[in-house]
Amino acid sequence: MKKYINKLVLLAVIIMVPAMSFSQYCNYFHSKYCLQSENEMFKLNGQSKSALFSKGQTSELQIIVYNKQDYRISVCMDENLGSQVKFKIYETKKVKVEKVIETKSMEEEVESCGTCNGTGEADGEECYDCEGVGERTTGNEVEVISKETKIVVEKQKQLLYDNSEDGFSNEIEFTVESTRRLTLEITVPGGGGGDATTKKRGKLMKSSDMGCVGILVEHMTTPVSGFYGSGF
């Protein structure tokens, strides 16, 4: 039993060492392998990041882009991960939506007084005065659902850019007119085939299914165009 445990520990170490080496190698992958803009006005942004990916994996990176700035975002990855990467940009906004709110409560069950054909007043088990509504409790409780329409504020994820609609381009440039928080979603294709156990083992054991992905973020002050500042 002890030998079996030792073999498992050794196997785990063998598996983890390549992964750890990959992770360290990936730390500055974006600064080494992502092509920087030819425009020297663009400067490296500190929100740039690299990470270890496996085929079929999706991961997100949140960044903040600021007003009156131009941004360039580019993605690069190891060749063994393929030639195309899926790249989407989302913005999470607070929006007002109309929702139906359900409230549940327990109430006493009532029934009509049969002797009064549903009218009258109940005194114990009998309806003796046929004026008003004749009802009596049954001694049971029932669940009552009440509904109310309210306006609530919730966060919604809105798609701003999808590189599958742009020839799977690995870069995009844009101007920011108001400070915003963006979510960059990266998906490396592949990773299919085989049952779940085989796929999991394959991701752990095969370094060919793993590689670095870098996101290079560059920024510059938006150039002023026109006769700005001229006058008397």
Q: Are residues 11 and 75 in the same domain?
A: yes
Residue 74 has a pLDDT of 97
Contact 60, 213 (CB under 8 A): no
Residue 148 has a pLDDT of 87
Distances (CA, A) of 106 to 15, 35, 103: 57, 65, 10
- In a domain, residue 69? The reply is yes
pLDDT of 122 higher than 70: no
Residue 13 has a pLDDT of 41
Q: Are residues 62 and 21 in the same domain?
A: yes
Compute the radius of gyration of the chain from its Cα atoms. Answer: 32
Q: Are residues 121 and 186 in the same domain?
A: no
pLDDT category at 97 given cuts 50, 70, 90 is confident
Which amino acid is residue 105, in one-letter code? S
Residue-wise pLDDT for 45-74, tens only, equals 999 999 999 999 999 999 999 999 999 999
- In a domain, residue 90? The reply is no
Q: Please, what is the Cα angle at 187 between 186 and 193, to 5 degrees?
A: 165
Rounded CA-CA distance 102/117 in Å is 33
Give how many domains the chain has, as a whole number: 2
Q: Are residues 10 and 124 in the same domain?
A: no
% of the chain residues with pLDDT over 70:
68
Residue 41 has a pLDDT of 95
Please state the three-class secondary structure of 161-199 as a single string: EEHHHCCCCCEEEEEECCCEEEEEEEECCCCCCCCHHHH
Q: Are residues 118 and 184 in the same domain?
A: no
Model pTM above 0.85 = no
17 φ/ψ angles, rounded to the nearest 5 degrees: -60, -50
- In a domain, residue 205? The reply is yes
Residue 95 has a pLDDT of 83
Q: Are residues 38 and 143 in the same domain?
A: no
Structure tokens at 93: 């906004």
Domain range enclosing 196: 2-85+170-221
Q: Please, what is the Cα angle at 124 between 119 and 127, to 5 degrees?
A: 25
Among residues 176, 181, 157, 164, which one has the least CA distance to residue 68?
176
* H helix or E strand, kind and range, residue 31: helix 29-33
| Pairing between β-strand 69-77 and β-strand 126-133 as defined by DSSP bridges | unpaired
Q: Are residues 76 and 118 in the same domain?
A: no
